[in-house]
């Protein structure tokens, strides 16, 4: 698995990117045998098509890659990653004049194509290696790819090997790698240190619940990242049907994305005071599991009526958000694979987010387009506040009726963020079918857009 650029070499073969409009002009500059080869193979520069050019010794002399039309390209991203997956093993270089975000996207997608989840079965990603094109920040892109590989590995690993203790262990390894401060509050210590809802959700599991905390950086604005770390979600006593439980190893995708973002922030040396909080639990079933109808008291003191034990993510996030807000950070962001309603609303490819800060939302949207990490703003719709207020407690964790499930979850979380500048991401975290640079399985969503936007938003 190669997730880094190849060293510059005179042996690197050229990959020429062509559109249907530029193909004839290129052919006209070639020797007759090359022109005949291209025409004879019917290469029309359609999007994603690859044609290897033969050399005099029988080996490849280079290759062509079709970019298709502008309309074709607008219907996807990381198109050049398809070349990485198709070309023969060896070193390649882009023989074109791509620039700016287009060049960055091509290079990043190529590296993404090198990823394969091989923990349990031997497999590999693309074997064609790319020489870093002139004009890209190779070190930064490699740091981003390494962080994305971490996100994917964490989500893809089943709960048998990625329970709360293992997730905390990975966070500890990252902290040690970058000299961050690290601590874990575990088991009944969550009660004595006032994290009652994290404890309630995770107490029925054999692997004890815990709160992971990491801090890094001594200068710059304060940034707190909170990630939902439900390592497996049975639904609790409101148990999920098998079809809904099959992918619940990914319910810690918010924590995975937060750890990927945190790793990238540290690897690129961003000038921030970073704090990472991950409530890591398994929502299991046992005699001491929390029940429908229970009233839980949160760290903030608000009481919560449990109308569905399968709406547990917002409970563990609530205590972590309260804790995060106590230090009054300049910006606090939570990420979670929280609601099926978000998946239904925008599908698996978009990362919905909530923010009251128009400046943050606009900067994030611009960065999302720049780095090919799409997001979609959703509203903190105040008229729905009454939907999360039951009769016998301050809040309801699962309002009846089924309306606006993602919005009501976000409104619930905002109640615990205090007066901080707060944004929430309700992501899916899973690639349901393979696409260029993104094999089926766990995937990062939104964090690269956040990484790009943060310096402008925070002045870091």
The confidence score (pLDDT) of residue 2 equals 80
pTM over cut 0.95: yes
The tens digit of pLDDT for each residue in 168-195 reads 999 999 999 999 999 999 999 999 999 9
The confidence score (pLDDT) of residue 338 equals 83
CB 54 within 8 A of CB 37: yes
Same fold, 13-122+130-136 and 143-458: no
Whether the per-residue pLDDT at 13 is higher than 80: the answer is yes
Backbone angles phi, psi at 367, to 5 degrees: -70, -35
The confidence score (pLDDT) of residue 49 equals 97
Question: Which CATH code is given to the segment(s) 13-122+130-136?
Answer: 3.40.220.10
Whether the per-residue pLDDT at 460 is higher than 90: the answer is no
The tens digit of pLDDT for each residue in 309-334 reads 999 999 999 999 999 999 999 999 99
Q: Domain boundaries in the chain?
A: 13-122+130-136, 143-458
Q: Which of 77, 228, 273, 314 is catalytic?
A: 314
Residue 314 annotated in active site: yes
The tens digit of pLDDT for each residue in 402-420 reads 899 999 999 999 999 999 9
The tens digit of pLDDT for each residue in 331-387 reads 999 999 989 999 999 999 999 999 999 999 999 999 999 999 999 999 999 999 999
The confidence score (pLDDT) of residue 96 equals 74
Q: Which of 73, 127, 140, 240 is catalytic?
A: 240
Residue 240 annotated in active site: yes
CA distance 448 to 342: 20
CB 45 within 8 A of CB 23: yes
CB 256 within 8 A of CB 154: yes
* Averaged pLDDT for residues 117-146: 95
Question: 222-227 and 50-54: which strand pairing?
Answer: unpaired
The confidence score (pLDDT) of residue 350 equals 97
The confidence score (pLDDT) of residue 409 equals 97
> Percentage of the chain with pLDDT > 70?
100
The tens digit of pLDDT for each residue in 18-51 reads 999 999 999 999 999 999 999 999 999 999 999 9
Q: Of the candidates 372, 396, 371, 377, which has an alpha carbon nearest to the alpha carbon of residue 385? A: 396
The confidence score (pLDDT) of residue 167 equals 98
* Averaged pLDDT for residues 429-444: 97
The confidence score (pLDDT) of residue 1 equals 64
Q: Which long-range contacts (CB under 8 A, 24 or more apart) does 428-431 make?
A: 428/253, 428/337, 428/342, 428/343, 428/347, 428/348, 428/351, 429/155, 429/250, 429/253, 429/254, 429/256, 429/257, 429/337, 430/155, 430/247, 430/250, 430/253, 430/348, 431/348
CA distance 338 to 312: 9
Q: Kindly report the average pLDDT of the chain as a whole number.
A: 96
* DSSP states of 248-264: GGGGGHHHHHHHHHHHH
Largest interatomic CA distance in the chain: 83
CA distances from 157 to 183, 184, 254 (A): 23, 21, 14
Q: How confident is the model at residue 92 (pLDDT cuts 50, 70, 90)?
A: very high
- CATH 3.40.630.10 at 143-458, yes or no: yes
Gyration radius of the chain's alpha carbons: 24
């Amino acid at each position: 698995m190669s997730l880094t650029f190849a060293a510059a070499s005179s042996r690197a073969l050229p990959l020429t990117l062509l559109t249907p409009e530029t193909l004839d002009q290129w052919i006209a500059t070639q020797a007759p045998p090359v022109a005949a080869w291209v025409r004879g193979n019917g290469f029309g520069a359609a999007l994603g098509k690859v044609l290897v050019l033969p050399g005099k010794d029988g080996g490849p002399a280079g290759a062509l890659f079709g970019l298709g039309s502008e309309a074709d390209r607008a219907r996807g991203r990381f198109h050049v990653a398809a070349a990485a997956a198709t070309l023969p093993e060896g070193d390649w270089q882009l023989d074109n004049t791509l620039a700016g975000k287009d060049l960055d996207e091509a290079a990043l997608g190529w590296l993404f194509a090198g990823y394969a989840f091989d923990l349990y079965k031997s497999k590999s990603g693309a074997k064609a290696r790319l020489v870093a094109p002139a004009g890209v920040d190779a070190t930064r892109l490699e740091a981003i790819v390494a962080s994305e590989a971490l996100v994917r590995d964490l989500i893809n690993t089943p709960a048998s090997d990625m329970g709360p203790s293992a997730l905390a262990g990975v966070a500890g390894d990252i902290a040690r790698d970058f000299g961050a401060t690290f601590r874990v509050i575990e088991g009944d210590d969550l009660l004595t240190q006032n994290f009652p809802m994290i404890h309630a959700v995770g107490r029925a599991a054999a692997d004890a619940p815990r709160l992971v905390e990491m801090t890094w950086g001594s200068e710059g604005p304060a940034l707190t990242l909170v990630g939902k770390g439900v390592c497996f979600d049975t639904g609790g006593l409101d148990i999920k049907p098998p079809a809904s439980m099959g992918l619940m190893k990914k319910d810690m995708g918010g924590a995975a994305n937060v750890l990927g973002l945190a790793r990238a922030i540290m690897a690129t040396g961003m000038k921030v005071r970073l704090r990472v909080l991950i409530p890591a639990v398994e929502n299991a079933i046992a005699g001491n599991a929390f029940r429908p109808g229970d009233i839980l008291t949160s760290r903030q003191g608000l009481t919560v009526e449990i109308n569905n034990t399968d709406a547990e993510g917002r409970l563990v996030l609530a205590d972590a958000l309260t804790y995060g807000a106590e230090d009054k950070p300049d910006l606090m962001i939570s990420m979670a694979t929280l609601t099926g309603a978000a998946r239904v609303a925008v599908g698996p490819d978009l990362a919905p987010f909530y923010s009251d800060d128009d400046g943050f939302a606009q900067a994030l949207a611009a960065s999302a387009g720049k780095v090919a990490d799409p997001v979609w703003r959703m509203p903190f719709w105040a008229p729905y506040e009454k939907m999360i207020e039951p009769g016998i407690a301050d809040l309801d964790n699962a309002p009846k009726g089924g309306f606006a499930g993602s919005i009501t979850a976000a409104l619930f979380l905002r109640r615990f963020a205090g007066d901080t500048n707060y944004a929430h991401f309700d992501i899916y975290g899973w690639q349901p079918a393979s696409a260029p640079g993104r094999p089926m399985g766990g995937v990062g969503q939104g964090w690269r857009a956040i990484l790009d936007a943060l310096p402008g938003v925070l002045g870091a």
